[in-house]
Amino acid sequence: MIENAQRQACGNCGKGDFAVYITRSAIKAYTKYIVECLNCKSTTIIQPMPAKLEAVFGEGSEGILCTLSTIE
What residue ranges bind Zn ion (CB under 5 A)?
Answer: 10, 12-13, 37, 39-40, 42
Smallest distance, Å, CB 19 to Zn ion?
11
Under a CB-based contact definition with an 8 Å cutoff, are residues 17 and 37 in contact? yes
Q: How far apart are CA 50 and CA 55, in angstroms?
A: 16
Smallest distance, Å, CB 26 to Zn ion?
32
Beta strands in the chain (DSSP E): 18-22, 33-37, 43-46
**Cβ proximity to Zn ion, 12 vs 23, nearer residue:** 12
Residue 66 C-alpha from the chain's centroid = 30
**Cβ proximity to Zn ion, 46 vs 48, nearer residue:** 46
**Cβ proximity to Zn ion, 11 vs 48, nearer residue:** 11
